[in-house]
Structure 1
Amino acid sequence: MDGMCLMCGLEDKSIYHALFKCGGVKEIWDLWKECPTVIGAKNMDFSYLAFKLLDVGTPRDMELLVVIAWAIWHNRNLRVFEAINQRAEQVWNHAVSMLSDYKEAVKFCMLGPSDCEVSWKKPQVEVFKINTDGAIANEGRGSSIGVVIRDSRGEAVAALCRVLPGCFLMDEIEALTVKAGILLARELDLHQVIVESDSLSIVQRILAKDFSGGLGHIVHGILGWPISLNVMI
């Protein structure tokens, strides 16, 4: 990597600088509270740090190192090529949720054929089921969300689709989609609803009433309505 860093313009660009020194990168690594070693304390290449974690850390520490480094590099590309600047918490949450979703996907793939049969199930009488999904757009287009609400007979009672005003991270999209489903149910005066989302990390945040980080206000909005809410994946 030759020349000055395209992000800060203060140092020669290198993998070490990009991952550990440039801009607000240190703020991202500082969010790793249980890291078994000091990251970025001295000039070290990525392989040296990996071997260090193999020696003093756990397999999860190695997984976090790799996925956080990828998220930092991804954020760097977003800033350089798309002028999108994410906060340290957004980069960290994106990395951790991606690792969690990957692990759940691996577990699912290891199940036998009979265990992998998935079908939509009707809710109980007087209960409505909200299915949500979101999508990231490319080429500068906005992200989008979709919601459908069905009754105990499996018949659709309402649906919506919407293009968001900008390009959001996947976790943000999934959270906003769940919130849109709750708002739609509220408009229809539905008091007992089940929300199905394919985002494990968002479901866990809602069930744990986790209002921290950049998604906290969205989760608070989801849980702020006086309805009987059951969230599942």
Structure 2
Amino acid sequence: MEERMEMTGAGEFPAVTKPNYDRFEELKAFDETKAGVKGLVDAGVVKLPRIFIRPPDELALEKLNSHIQTHFEVPVIDLAGIDRDDRRKEIVDEIGRASERWGFFQVVNHGVPATVLEDMIEGILGFNEQDHEVKKELYSRDCQRRVRFSSNFDLYKTRAANWRDTLNFDMLSPDLLSSQALPAICREATMEYTKKIIELGYTLFELLSEALGLEPNHLKGMDCAKGCSISNHYYPACPEPELALGTSKHSDPAFLTILLQDHIGGLQVIHQDQWVNVHPIPGALVVNIGDLLQRKVPIESVCGVCGEEGEPILHVLKQCPFARQVWLLSQLGLRSDATRADSLASWAEEIMKPHGEEELSVFFIIAWSIWKHKNEYTFTGVKMTPFNCVQRANKLLVDFHNANDRAVPESITEVSSWSAPLGNLFKVDIDGALHLEDGNARVGVVVRDHNGDLIAAMSKRISHTLTAALIEAIAARECLKFALDLGIQEIILESDSINIIRALTSQEENSSFESLVLDDVKTLSFSFHHCSFSHVHQ
């Protein structure tokens, strides 16, 4: 079990899916019990339900790396003597080094009494071991509720659910703490724990400010310490622990996370591409530098492969060290850092002039392989070498030449005219138009409900596009992003582009250039409870 406070300003593995396996229905059935994983344990399960079994590629990768041992140890910083100038300078230096090199460290002698930590752990254990009927009153997926109990906030979005239940106290304030909103069984412990952890948080922000060469109150003055939330994770005994995770790989989006482990441990952090155990130390607290404090840029602008700033497509395909190695190893032998092209369109033109369309096709396939690797590594943790990335591109060359001859899959839904969706579904129609005179384009999205009533619409201008197919692919991506912004969870995406719908519904690898964008569409589709694709005649 753990409490987290965030300052916010090649073996054989079980088959995960079967032809008659409806994952959504199984997730829904589990969710509707409002009992969480503790309810499964209480029911006496001896086999892990399929929704919790990790994908075979993850299990295989873990087994492959299981022999790797690391000598790394997460830094432990003693805050004793912090009020003495000489010792404070040492502590500031230690925190600066740990934050820069690790982003994680443990603190001891931090001023939070051991009894406060013990009472908090006991209080959360007490809550989770209550009768199901008591806990389910707080069960909710409504993020607006400040106090809520649930299992997996992202239950419907991940490839495998985590084996944990969580009691959340969001955006705690003095008003909430003085109310009766907190569960009685852990109310007193939570109030005292929160008060002490907030005090420690202020101290840590002062030390971090000084480590950055700033005035002690600088980060506090930026409201980095304004507001907080507590996530109390509970991990009951798992029937097949080798197949599941309590918490998947992630980063914390807040400024600072202070984490209390129990004596069992299990927390790991990644350091120099190796997973390192955070060994429990009696009375210690784990500190994680969150995404908002690590960088002054949005998370989306950080490359998921190399960790450098520059998530936009040009960085991923051209500037990322991984991409540069791929281009050099490829049959094109390109030095991607030598070109002055400032857009994909201008870079493609450079390739087209001396080599012609054949080499341009190879260029696009290599670009697709690089982009696909980025998505695989970002969302599943599967990483390949640059050489393997080139090998995959070479194997796709034949597919690329035959792509236009493929038959339309039977699974595509076709309609001859617009019709309202059934039930609570929303239908989202997309379209893209290219203006030949300036090379710019515009994509449009229209959202209607089951009555055919207009819910929302959006139009967006895009520049420097290459093909009509790419415009349609971008329209599909913008469509899903727009639907997510609206909070819609059940949609049918409808387009008059048969090639786009074919690519989105096919299980085969699509090696066309627009598939760089369509990979994003497929990934976004997992964020919905229901997302299907339909072709409509223009």
TM-score (norm 1): 0.51
Residue by residue over 1:16-49, the C-alpha shift from the partner in whole angstroms, topping out at 9 and shown as x without a partner, is xxxxxx7234436889xxxxxxxxxxxxxxxxxx
Matching residue within 21, 24, 27 for 2:356: 24
Matching residue within 513, 517, 522 for 1:218: 517
Q: Is the 8 A contact 1:150 1:157 kept in 2?
A: yes
SS of aligned partner of 2:432: strand
Given the superposition, is the C-alpha separation of residues 145 and 123 from structure 1 closer, same or farther in structure 2, using an over 3 Å criterion?
A: same
Structure 1 CA distance for aligned equivalents of residues 462 and 481 of structure 2: 16
Q: Is the 8 A contact 1:128 1:192 kept in 2?
A: yes
- Measured on the aligned residues, the alpha-carbon RMSD in Å equals 3.3
SS of aligned partner of 1:202: helix
Give 1:215 shift.
2.2
- The residue that corresponds to 1:146 in the other structure is 444
Structure 2 CA distance for aligned equivalents of residues 151 and 211 of structure 1: 32
Q: Is the 8 A contact 1:137 1:167 kept in 2?
A: no
Structure 2 CA distance for aligned equivalents of residues 29 and 141 of structure 1: 21
- The residue that corresponds to 1:65 in the other structure is none
- The residue that corresponds to 1:232 in the other structure is 534
Give 1:94 shift.
11
Given the superposition, is the C-alpha separation of residues 24 and 229 from structure 1 closer, same or farther in structure 2, using an over 3 Å criterion?
A: same
Structure 2 CA distance for aligned equivalents of residues 178 and 26 of structure 1: 28
Structure number with bigger Rg: 2
Q: Is the 8 A contact 2:495 2:501 kept in 1?
A: yes
Asked if 1:197 corresponds to 2:495, the answer is: yes
Given the superposition, is the C-alpha separation of residues 25 and 218 from structure 1 closer, same or farther in structure 2, using an over 3 Å criterion?
A: closer
Structure 2 CA distance for aligned equivalents of residues 201 and 135 of structure 1: 16
Structure 2 CA distance for aligned equivalents of residues 214 and 26 of structure 1: 14
Residue by residue over 1:113-155, the C-alpha shift from the partner in whole angstroms, topping out at 9 and shown as x without a partner, is xxxx932110012100010111111111411111101000101
Structure 2 CA distance for aligned equivalents of residues 193 and 126 of structure 1: 9
Q: Is the 8 A contact 1:149 1:159 kept in 2?
A: yes
Structure 2 CA distance for aligned equivalents of residues 134 and 30 of structure 1: 26
TM-score (norm 2): 0.23
Given the superposition, is the C-alpha separation of residues 218 and 167 from structure 1 closer, same or farther in structure 2, using an over 3 Å criterion?
A: closer
Residue by residue over 1:72-128, the C-alpha shift from the partner in whole angstroms, topping out at 9 and shown as x without a partner, is xxxxxxxxxxxxxxxxx9xx979965x88xx99xxxxxxxxxxxx932110012100
Q: Is the 8 A contact 2:480 2:521 kept in 1?
A: yes
Q: Is the 8 A contact 1:136 1:168 kept in 2?
A: no
Unaligned runs of 5+ in 1: 1-21, 32-88, 105-116
Q: Is the 8 A contact 1:211 1:219 kept in 2?
A: no
- The residue that corresponds to 2:463 in the other structure is 165
Give 1:217 shift.
2.6
Asked if 1:128 corresponds to 2:430, the answer is: no
- The residue that corresponds to 2:57 in the other structure is none
Q: How many residues align?
A: 139
SS of aligned partner of 2:440: coil
Given the superposition, is the C-alpha separation of residues 205 and 118 from structure 1 closer, same or farther in structure 2, using an over 3 Å criterion?
A: closer
Give 1:223 shift.
1.4
Q: Is the 8 A contact 1:133 1:198 kept in 2?
A: yes
SS of aligned partner of 2:511: coil
- The residue that corresponds to 2:435 in the other structure is 137
Structure 2 CA distance for aligned equivalents of residues 119 and 30 of structure 1: 38
Structure 2 CA distance for aligned equivalents of residues 175 and 30 of structure 1: 20
SS of aligned partner of 2:443: strand
Structure 2 CA distance for aligned equivalents of residues 177 and 149 of structure 1: 13
Q: Is the 8 A contact 2:400 2:511 kept in 1?
A: no
Matches within 5 A, 1:61-72: none
Given the superposition, is the C-alpha separation of residues 95 and 27 from structure 1 closer, same or farther in structure 2, using an over 3 Å criterion?
A: same
Structure 2 CA distance for aligned equivalents of residues 177 and 120 of structure 1: 18
Structure 2 CA distance for aligned equivalents of residues 30 and 167 of structure 1: 19
After TM superposition, which residue ranges in structure 1, 4 or more long, deviate above 4 angstroms?
A: 28-31, 92-97
Structure 1 CA distance for aligned equivalents of residues 435 and 456 of structure 2: 24
Q: Is the 8 A contact 2:428 2:479 kept in 1?
A: yes
Give 1:218 shift.
1.1
Residue by residue over 1:182-201, the C-alpha shift from the partner in whole angstroms, topping out at 9 and shown as x without a partner, is 11111111111001111111
Structure 1 CA distance for aligned equivalents of residues 419 and 457 of structure 2: 18
Structure 2 CA distance for aligned equivalents of residues 128 and 219 of structure 1: 21
Q: Which amino acid aligns with 1:199?
A: S
Q: Which amino acid aligns with 1:156?
A: L
Q: Is the 8 A contact 1:148 1:159 kept in 2?
A: yes
SS of aligned partner of 2:446: strand
Residue by residue over 1:46-69, the C-alpha shift from the partner in whole angstroms, topping out at 9 and shown as x without a partner, is xxxxxxxxxxxxxxxxxxxxxxxx
Structure 2 CA distance for aligned equivalents of residues 185 and 218 of structure 1: 17
Give 1:169 shift.
0.5
Identity of aligned residues (%): 23
